[in-house]
Structure 1
Amino acid sequence: MEFDDRSVLVTGGSSGIGLATARLLTARGAKVVTAALTEPEAEDDAIRFVQTDVADEASVAAAVDFAVRTHGGLDVLVAAAGIQRYGSAADTSAAAWDHVMAVNVRGAFFAAKHALPALRASGAGSIVLVSSVQAFVTQTDVAAYTASKGALNAFARSLAIDEAHNGVRANTVCPGSVDTPMLRAAAAGFTHSERETDELVASWGRNHPLGRVARPEEVAEAIAFLASDRASFISGVALPVDGGLLAQVAVALPD
């Protein structure tokens, strides 16, 4: 129960990594509020939900205020809200670019901005932003997504330095492919049946040295570590949770 009585706000907590994190921290004693456009996929009476548009500053401010009022403060912020849009720089519309940046980057900025007073008051506040391995490397046709994740890593470094004297730590987790509704929706855009979607997700998993995609719960464990006192001297880092993806050389060497 390492999070016993700690107050946590998770943006994007209705599915995928965000929901897995909310459930894990709740199981370890935290008092959790999830902020998202839609309610979690499965009801959990221990997790409070507040409908939130992370791209709207007033909506995010209201969610932070709800978490602080509901649980008497705020100790941990997990910014997990994110979207994916495909396209190179040449064929990404300005509207698509702005939408990705609004959710992935502005959403994290708004959450941190409005959570910081309470996180400072906690005496040992922690911020964890959900980034991606694509902050470091990229596939084709994900210009906006890649740019947004690079921005999150840079933002976390800035937070770590600016808030160190206030006792607030900031880090990112950088997952590879994770079996989430967002990943499956992306796969479904290239397939014609559930079976084909499963096969495509499995093929993406084989690109990772461990041979599979991650489970949301595995990323949640990394988030929980960074948010906990076990990581009390870790700030400003980008932690890959990628099954070895960043460690491998992507070219075939001769026998």
Structure 2
Amino acid sequence: MSAIQKTILITGAGSGIGAEICAQLLAQQHTVWAVDKNTSALASLQQQYPNQLYCQDLDIRDAPAVQRFLADLLAQQTIDTLICAAGVLQMGYGHTLSLAQWQDVFAVNTQGVFLFCQPVAARMRSRQQGAIVIISSNAATTPRINMGAYAASKAATTQFAKCLGLELAPLGIRVNIVSPGSTDTPMQQAMWQQGSSQQTVIAGNAKDFRLGIPLQKIATPKDIAQGVLFLLSDAAAHITLHDLRIDGGATLDS
């Protein structure tokens, strides 16, 4: 990343991929505003970086609360970079998935991205400077059995990010997407508790029309975070509207 210290806002910072991104940004001496429904897991980082890390407990399903928080924050801070890493997974077949499950997934994975991008992008437009990275999923482009709500929410988010990026590109503001595959996070671990495992994910499942992982390993949060940091760095200065697939080849780069 650039040697210039930046102020960065990240959602979903309390665990998994978001927490790893947060830690790496702090190590590079950036100021980070970390948003999550529960940021208690960041306590040790806050002790280590008391003048760089600012935590905000916030349920991004709550649109009025998000809007109030962002109005206050943007009145005080210039946000150089936005990273949308918050995400939830609700498993369920299309014919059994409840409306509440569907709405919950979209409230976080899609509406949450919109709520943060809209005011932050507006400020970036006025400054004609900034960068946004949105964490999507390889499920956005590859159908998955029992994951219709998740895949649909991520597909919508990916397309929103590309449209936003197209609108902001003439101003020099870059918007990119990172689409992980199976990653060793609490979300993935919860799926393993329901009957799958690292090895079954790596091997794939012909019955479910699911390829395995050619690299023969599950991604770590660090693998994904490094992709995000690259897209935010000066090395990616001419990259926008890009969807970086980090899945060990699991979707054959579809």
TM-score by length of 2: 0.88
**Cα distance change on mapping 1:229 and 1:64 into 2, 3 Å:** farther
Aligned length: 240
Q: Does 1:180 align with 2:205?
A: no
- CA distance in 2 between partners of 1:217 and 1:115 (Å): 26
Identify which of 194, 200, 215 aligns with 1:203. Answer: 200
With over 3 angstroms needed to count, the CA separation of the structure-2 counterparts of 1:220 and 1:52, relative to structure 1, is same
1:1-255, aligned counterparts within 5 Å? 2=2, 4-43=4-43, 44-45=45-46, 46=49, 47-65=53-71, 67-68=73-74, 72-190=77-195, 200-206=197-203, 207-247=212-252
Distance 1:248 1:149, change over 3 A: closer
User: How far 1:91 sits from its partner (Å)?
Assistant: 0.9
Question: Which residue of structure 1 aligns with residue 207 of structure 2?
Answer: none
Amino acid in structure 2 at the alignment position of 1:153: T
Which residue in 2 is equivalent to 1:196?
A: none
Note if contact 1:84-1:100 (Cα within 8 Å) is conserved in structure 2.
Answer: yes
Determine the C-alpha separation between the residues in 1 that align with 2:4 and 2:14: 22
Which residue identity lines up with residue 5 of structure 1 in the other structure? Q
Change (3 A) 1:102 1:248: closer
Query: What is the CA RMSD across the aligned residues, in angstroms?
Result: 1.9
| Residue segments in structure 1 that go unaligned for 5+ positions in a row | 192-199, 250-255
Greater CA drift, 60-69 or 48-57 = 60-69
- Tell me the CA shift for residue 98 of structure 1: 0.7
TM-score by length of 1: 0.87
Q: Secondary structure at the match of 2:155?
A: helix
Q: Is the 8 A contact 1:125 1:168 kept in 2?
A: yes
Report the CA distance between 1:97 and its aligned residue.
0.5
Deviates more, 1:55-64 or 1:130-139: 55-64
Of residues 182-191 and 4-13 in structure 1, the stretch that sits farther from structure 2 once superposed is 182-191
| TM-aligned CA distance change 1:3 to 1:93, over 3 Å | farther
3-state SS of the aligned residue for 2:132? strand
Percent of aligned pairs sharing the same letter: 30
